[in-house]
Amino acid sequence: MPVYIALLRAVNVGGTGSLPMAELKAICEDLGFSDVKTYIQSGNVLFRADEAEKAVEERLDDALGKKMGKRPGVMVRNRKELDKIATDAPFPEAQPNFLLVYFLPEKAPGDALETMVAPDGEEAKLAGREIYVHYPNGSGRSKLKLPALKPGTSRNLNTVRKLAEMAAALEDGD
């Protein structure tokens, strides 16, 4: 059974709402997912499911919507995708916690970066369903404007690497 990594949008960060990771784990198990593991309080969950990625994404987002009153948005990737995202990260000079990967529900349009306003020297790179953004001064006070990021959810490169490592351990535990 494939290993999936689900990244929830706007959970436990002042967005859609609060969701204890124990509840997220229980929801995933109720959906029939197995070997469920969560990572930190920002809506990261790994599991096995015998379904296609899009079906898993839709079922989890729907179940969370029923629990929270509003669908938060769920981006699902498989282990190989997450490995590639971590390995292919641009901006090698960037500190990993200053390099955010925005996971999008679908591929960003090729001109997505044309409207970017980066007053603090932020840099961005499109990569399929992800956009990498380097925040040289950190993302907390950044005034970056990039509309293409709105439907997505971000994780810093340290978190992406850890999730990839956890997915590998889960998959290799067969």
pLDDT one-digit tens code per residue, 59-94 = 999 999 999 888 999 999 999 999 999 999 999 999
**How many whole angstroms from its chain centre is CA 121?**
24
The pTM assigned to this predicted structure is 0.93
Q: Is residue 168 part of a domain?
A: no
**H-assigned helices in the chain:** 21-30, 53-68, 79-87, 157-172
Same domain flag for 40 and 8: yes
Q: Are residues 68 and 25 in the same domain?
A: yes
Residue 172 domain-assigned (yes or no): no
Q: What is the per-residue pLDDT for 12?
A: 66
pLDDT of 136 reads 97
- Provide the domain count of the chain: 2
- Structural domain ending residue among the three candidates 42, 64, 79: 79
Number of other residues whose CB lies within 10 A of the CB of residue 47: 26
52 is a domain residue: yes
Are residues 17 and 73 both part of a single domain?
A: yes
Whole-Å CA distances, 46 to 38, 120, 137, 164: 6, 34, 31, 10
Report yes or no: 67 and 95 within 8 Å, Cβ to Cβ: no
74-78: strand order across its sheet: 34-39, 44-48, 3-8, 74-78
Do 61 and 129 belong to one domain? no
Domain edge (last residue) among 38, 60, 79:
79
Tell whether 45 and 68 lie within a shared domain. Answer: yes
Q: How far apart are CA 60 and CA 55, in angstroms?
A: 9
The residue segments making up the domain with residue 16 are 3-79
In a domain, 170, yes or no: no
**What is the predicted pLDDT for the residue at 42?**
82
Which residues of the chain carry a pLDDT beneath 70? 12-17, 174
